[in-house]
């Protein structure tokens, strides 16, 4: 079983997850733009039971997702790195690929492309969805 580890940039918070993510996405929604200060968030979708914080206690911020269910954002209160978003509607964490010690993952799809700014960049040869793939809960 493979273990993936990551941390915020000051090192106060560390996390890990087991096994490979069930999905890896570039998300261009307005919320991810605000969160990252860029056109997208590179999220690795990790089932809740596979993810844990191993050092420090992150701060959090909660909003209602498109489904009406809560999304909890976890970040470091010292260096402000955004570490992950807990998507309660889907029972998974969207973990920041950028925060991994070794990120060898690549995006499998682009989502919320209809919210992207005009200057956004999209990866080549990856399916692009206006919102989510049909049948996927947000
Ligand atoms: Zn930090
Ligand atoms: Zn998003």
In a domain, 77, yes or no: yes
pLDDT for 66 equals 83
pLDDT for 137 equals 58
**Of the ligands numbered here, which is closest to the C-alpha atom of 59?**
1
In a domain, 101, yes or no: yes
Q: How many Cβ atoms sit within 10 Å of the Cβ of residue 72?
A: 15
- Domain membership of residue 107 as a residue range: 3-115
Å from CA of 40 to ligand 2 middle? 7
In a domain, 57, yes or no: yes
In a domain, 95, yes or no: yes
Ligand 2 is an ion; residues with CB less than 5 A from it: 27, 29, 32
- For 80-127, how does the pLDDT look when each residue is reduced to its tens digit (9 = 90+)? 999 999 999 999 999 999 999 999 999 999 999 999 999 999 999 999
Å from CA of 7 to ligand 1 middle? 8
Give the alpha-carbon dihedral of 32, 35, 39, 45, to 10 degrees. Answer: -40
Question: Encoding tokens for residue 78?
Answer: 């010292």
In a domain, 132, yes or no: no
- What total number of domains does the chain contain? 1
How is 65-112 classified by DSSP, letter by letter?
Answer: -TTSSEEEEEE-TTT--EEEEEETTTTEEEEEGGGBSS-----SEEE-
- Assign residue 44 the CATH number of its domain: 2.170.150.70
């Amino acid at each position: 079983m493979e273990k993936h580890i990551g941390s915020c940039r000051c090192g106060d918070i560390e996390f890990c997850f087991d096994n490979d993510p069930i999905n890896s996405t570039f998300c261009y929604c307005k919320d991810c733009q605000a969160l990252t200060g860029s056109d997208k968030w590179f999220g690795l979708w990790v089932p809740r039971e596979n993810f844990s914080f191993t050092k420090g206690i992150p701060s959090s911020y909660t909003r209602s997702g498109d489904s009406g269910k809560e999304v909890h954002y976890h970040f470091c209160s010292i260096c402000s790195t955004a570490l992950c978003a807990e998507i309660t509607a889907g029972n998974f964490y969207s973990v920041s690929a950028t925060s991994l010690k070794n990120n060898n993952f690549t995006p499998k799809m682009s989502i919320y492309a209809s919210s992207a700014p005009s200057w956004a960049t999209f990866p080549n040869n990856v399916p692009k969805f206006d919102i989510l793939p049909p049948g996927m809960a947000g």
